[in-house]
Amino acid sequence: MLRGLNHITIAVSDLDRSLRFYTDILGMQGHVRWERGAYLSLGDVWFCLSVDKAAPAQDYSHIAFDIDESDFLPFADKLRTAGVMEWKQNTSEGQSIYFLDPDGHRFEAHSGSLQTRLNSLAQAPYSGLVWL
């Protein structure tokens, strides 16, 4: 049986640039690096940067990071000060900032949880929403 996420691997075109972004801007913990990759972590999530041809999704696919509401505005300001590109404006419950990494991979920092999202859907359901 699946138990949860094991790790996330992102293809990057420039390992040094990506390491700076993920550690200095996003605050991930670096563990090891080698010629074509690096292992980082964020909380309990193992994150791998792998040098390859980066081909980020052009659809809504993205990875959302959890952030405390009290940390949201300073984090958003840090991204904006660093010139990190935003790819979408938030229209859902909770605070979110949608941003791109140096290769254009799509990410979100979100201050809500599944429960806060479900609570908001009880008040304003999506079109065609069915509770499972």
93 as an active site residue: the answer is no
**Apex 28 CA angle, 24 and 32, nearest 5:** 100
User: Tell me, which fold does domain 1-53 have in CATH?
Assistant: 2,3-Dihydroxybiphenyl 1,2-Dioxygenase; domain 1 (3.10.180)
Map residue 20 onto helix, strand or coil: helix
Which sequence spans correspond to the domains of the chain? Answer: 1-53, 56-124
* Average pLDDT, rounded, for the chain: 95
Task: Give the whole-angstrom CA distance, residue 123 versus residue 44.
Answer: 32
The per-residue pLDDT for 85 is: 97
**Apex 20 CA angle, 27 and 64, nearest 5:** 45
Q: Using the predicted structure, report yes or no on whether residue 91 has a pLDDT greater than 90.
A: no
| Topology alike, domains 1-53 and 56-124 | yes
CB atoms within 10 A of CB 66: 12
Q: Using the predicted structure, report yes or no on whether residue 92 has a pLDDT greater than 90.
A: no
Give the model confidence (pLDDT) of 8-31 as tens digits: 999 999 999 999 999 999 999 999
Q: What is the dihedral of CA 31, 38, 19, 72, to 10 degrees?
A: -60
Superfamily name and number for 56-124: 2,3-Dihydroxybiphenyl 1,2-Dioxygenase, domain 1 (3.10.180.10)
Give the model confidence (pLDDT) of 31-83 as tens digits: 999 999 999 999 999 999 999 999 999 999 999 999 999 999 999 999 999 99
Question: Active-site residue among 35, 86, 93, 108?
Answer: 108
> Two tokens at 53?
């041809």
